[in-house]
Amino acid sequence: MSIPPCPKCNSEYAYQDQNNLVCPECAHEWNPSEVATDEDILTAKDANGTLLEAGDKVTVAKDLKVKGSSLVIKIGTKALIRRIVEGKDHELDCKVDGAGEMMVTAKFVKKA
């Protein structure tokens, strides 16, 4: 029996603990026999209020300074959403053109 990836973070390292599956990366526990509800699926809204999903292409809505660097991501820079994570500040795990992989706040992007 193959174990499915974690529904929260898509980690492939989930393991079985009695009747539940456990993700060692995000500590999420779930019962594989239960169907996922809409509440379990993470969502984020862009600057215009449009729902974003993993795999969407977005553009940066304002100039963003990168913490710990002198790099500035200019308005209109394109990015690809890899996954949506639960967080206070940065919800989108993106691949940003010219800057690489980084976390971005959803309210600073627009769906392309």
Per residue in 45-54, pLDDT (tens digit) is 999 999 999 8
Long-range contacts of range 63-67, CB-CB < 8 Å, 24 or more positions apart?
64/104, 64/108, 66/99, 66/102
| Local structure of 42: helix, strand or coil | coil
Q: Please, what's the b/e burial string for 32-70 (b: 16 or more CB within 10 A of its CB; e: otherwise)?
A: eeeeeeeeeebebebbeeeebeeebebbbeeebeeeeee
Determine the pLDDT at residue 4: 86
Per residue in 1-57, pLDDT (tens digit) is 588 888 888 888 999 998 899 999 888 898 888 755 545 567 889 999 999 998 999
Per residue in 73-86, pLDDT (tens digit) is 999 999 999 999 88
Determine the pLDDT at residue 57: 96
